[in-house]
Amino acid sequence: MAIDAGDLRVDYQADQLLEGQAAADPFVQFDQWFQAAKASDCPEPNAMIVATVTADGRPAARVVLLKQVTEEGFVFYTNYESRKGQELLANPNTAVVFNWLELQRQVRIEGTVEKAPAQMSTDYFQSRPRKSQIGAWVSPQSQVVPDRAFLEQRQEEVEARFAGTEELPRPEHWGGFLIKPTLIEFWQGRSSRLHDRLVYTPAEGGKWKIDRLAP
């Protein structure tokens, strides 16, 4: 089977991104774009692609959900024993992409990760719906399982185990990762493929340097 997607083209004319209008702080710029994505028709604007690398240099990527932005970086939650969890613990370098097609925008982040503080992970876990909390106990994420019935049986067992427990404890294998950026790039689609690309990198005094990249 062959797929020819060469005739699929979009002329980007939704907006522009000029140095004079960009915030000096990339976290402020991200918040402005994120709020615009939330207000638009973008489904799950907090969806982001997170890349990891295996010990022998093979990359992998998957979509996860951003849950918090702090002064230090971007936070998502996962199973630490999953493939991505193990790869991030072994090699903390990562890259992230937000793709907001409806706004013809992307945000690309490079940086390092570390485990979020345990209390932050616990607080977020307690805010989740009970079924999501149960799921964190049920799934041996990224491991091969015999069939769906195996997971459903485990779910029944976990529900029975915590039947009399009002507040489920957070599993030790589940928690947050904090992505600390060393580079944040904002991409705005423009006509004739002359897209706007502004990249922020750390500068002295806690400030950020802004450069324009050729599209």
Catalytic residue among 154, 193, 197, 212: 193
Q: What's the chain's length in residues?
A: 215
Q: Does residue 193 carry a catalytic annotation?
A: yes
Which residues of the chain are under the pLDDT cut of 70? Answer: none
Torsion angles phi and psi, residue 85, rounded to 5:
-60, -45
Angle at 209 between CA 208 and CA 212, to 5 degrees: 135
Nearest to 46 by CA among 61, 35, 60, 54: 35
Query: Which pTM value belongs to this model?
Result: 0.92
Spans of all domains in the chain: 19-129+171-212
pLDDT, one tens digit per residue, over 150-190 is 889 999 998 999 998 889 999 999 999 999 999 999 999 99
Contacts of residue 174, defined as CB under 8 A and 6 or more positions apart, other chains included, come to 77, 78, 79, 80, 121, 125, 136
Task: Tell me the CATH number for domain 19-129+171-212.
Answer: 2.30.110.10
